[in-house]
Amino acid sequence: MSSTTSIHGMWSSRLAFILAATGSAVGLGNVWRFPYTAGEYGGGAFVLVYLLCVAGIGIPIMMAEIMLGRRGRQSPINTMKSLAREEGSSPAWQLLGWMGIVAGFLILSFYSVIAGWTLAYVFRAGSGLFAGADAAVAQAMFEGLVSDPERLLAWHTIFMVMTTLVVARGVASGLESAVRWLMPALFLLLVVMVFYAAEAGDFGSGFAYMFSPDFGKLGSRFGEALLSAMGQAFFSLSLGMGAIMIYGSYLNSRASIAQNVIIIAGMDTLVALLAGLAIFPIVLANGLEPGSGPGLIFQTLPIAFGQMPGGALFGAVFFILLVFAAWTSAISLLEPITAWLVENRGFSRPRAAALGGSLVWLLGIACLLSLNVWSDVKVFGKGFLDLFDYLTANVLLPLGGVLIAIFAGWIMRRASSADELGFTERSFVYRLWLLLVRFVAPACVIIVFLNAIGLI
């Protein structure tokens, strides 16, 4: 078991790691992406497939990624390079680290734009603009925002500055001090929103929509829905993008990886389901389309807050906490490249964070312009924001997950992985993990991926 410590700092406690890793996982992927993706694929059938993906693929790969990070104690690139050397394998495995950093860059570039929408809605809610809003008003409000490149640029810039400042401060004084109260507060507000949806929305229809699988709704899109559910599991759990690996490198050697991962995945999935239960009843009660795409949450919540007592205050607080959830996820995406610049280029942490944040900011400009001025510019039939979303969720993250599983299950010696996970090689839990990470997870990812691109 690794006994070294990271040069970047360590989590002060197990709770700090759980909150930070949950903060990385819980964010816009749960509250923004999950509801509209579920809506696109018929609700309950997608939710069931998603839960199976989390249990059979997400959890074992998350265990593997944290294990690799803790054993390497460096940035993902240097971790994979040193572990490959330790196991007598090819140094080309460091490309897995690079792939994660590229995925994180692409995700953060459009994630920051979406988080900018959330920042804008804090002030819209607080100023009372949601009062009495119906579906048409909410839609017009959202379309007015995304069609204005100057406002989008301003909010995108503010969010990236916020993210860069926290990463520059380091592990303990930056991220850890924030997540201790932000994540519990977001969870409590989501619960309150579910109770409100039960009162003001069509909760019975919303519940049935989420938890009554109808695979007939998928039809010929079954393979596409499987890939999307798997991509959502990777996106939501922050797998394959270097974030969980770098967080694992700051984890105490005595902490149980398996226990922590089950808690993190459970909390992450609970937030996604709560978000669906808060949003779908309101969507259905107001005649909105559940599969209306990325703008769903921004066209749904304004209706709810506009009709509830104290909606201006409650709406502002909710969007503030949603910003914080996005913030903790964004920090984890910027951390891997920052750590690599500190290790390999001798940068100070503030300088490394500033450089990484500036590059992501520039890439994000292309994403926000693709919503308006560059709306006619298509690559493979998609604008930049949609393209980066598709490439990361459906290609880079699943591919990164497969490679993590192959390295942890086949390249690492059993003695190494069992030692780091805290099991004996003969224990049932270790054998089950090895079965999932060696055979089940890679096979599922590869088969679904090949089906989605039409090769099988």
Per-residue pLDDT tens listing for the chain (456 residues): 655 777 777 887 888 888 888 888 887 778 777 888 888 888 888 888 899 989 988 999 999 999 999 999 999 999 999 999 999 999 999 999 999 999 999 999 999 999 999 999 999 999 999 998 888 898 899 999 999 999 999 999 999 999 999 899 876 666 677 777 777 888 888 888 888 888 878 899 999 988 888 777 776 777 778 878 887 887 788 888 888 999 999 898 889 999 999 999 999 899 888 988 988 888 888 777 787 776 778 887 788 788 877 788 888 887 887 888 888 889 889 989 999 999 999 899 999 999 999 999 999 999 999 999 999 999 988 999 999 988 887 788 888 888 999 999 999 999 999 999 999 999 999 999 999 999 998 988 787 667 656 666
4 is a domain residue: no
Q: Is residue 167 part of a domain?
A: yes
Q: Under DSSP, is residue 379 helix (H, G, I), strand (E, B) or coil?
A: strand
Q: Which residues contact 218 (CB under 8 A, 6 or more apart)?
A: 41, 42, 45, 46, 225
Task: Write the CATH number for 385.
Answer: 1.20.1740.10
Taking the CA atoms of 7, 13, 16 and 17 in sequence, report the sign of the dihedral they define.
Answer: positive
CA–CA separation, 208 and 214 (whole Å): 10
Quick check: is 22 in a domain? Answer: yes
Per-residue confidence (pLDDT) for residue 2, from 0 to 100:
57
Indicate the residue type of 95. Answer: L
Q: Where in 23-161 does DSSP place strands (E)? A: none
C-alpha 41/C-alpha 289 separation (Å) is 12
How far apart CA 153 and CA 84 sit, in angstroms, is 42
* Contact yes or no for 332/108 (Cβ under 8 A): no
Burial tier of 451 (Cβ tally within 10 Å: 0-12, 13-18, 19+): middle
1 occurs within a structural domain? no
Q: How many domains does the chain have?
A: 1
Q: Which residue has the tokens 């500033």?
A: 354
For residue 318, being part of any structural domain is answered with yes
Please tell me the distance from the alpha carbon of residue 371 to that of residue 384, in angstroms, as a whole number: 9
Phi, psi for 124 (deg, rounded to 5): -65, -40
CB atoms within 10 A of CB 81: 20
The residue among 360, 358, 366 whose CA lies nearest residue 384 is: 366
* 379 phi and psi angles, rounded to 5 deg: -125, 120
118 vs 36, 92, 142, CA distance in Å? 16, 40, 11
Task: Give the C-alpha separation, 39 to 43, whole Å.
Answer: 5
- Assign residue 88 a region: left if phi > 0, alpha if psi is -120 to 50, beta otherwise? left
- State which residues form the domain around 135: 14-452
The reported pLDDT for the residue numbered 453 is 63
d(CA 45, CA 102): 32
Residue 276 has what pLDDT? Answer: 87
Centre a 10 Å sphere on the Cβ of residue 69 and count the other Cβ atoms it contains. Answer: 30
Percentages (nearest 5) of helix, strand, coil residues in the chain? 80, 0, 20
333 residue type, one letter: L
Give residues with Cβ within 8 angstroms of 143, minimum separation 6.
295
Q: What local confidence, expressed as pLDDT, does residue 195 receive?
A: 87
Question: What tokens does 22 get?
Answer: 């949950």
**Residues comprising the chain, all counted:** 456
- Secondary structure E strands in 218-348: none
The answer to whether residue 2 sits within a structural domain is no
- Return the pLDDT at 172: 67
Residue 9 lies in a domain: no
Instruction: Decide if 391 is inside a domain.
Output: yes
Specify the pLDDT at position 217: 72
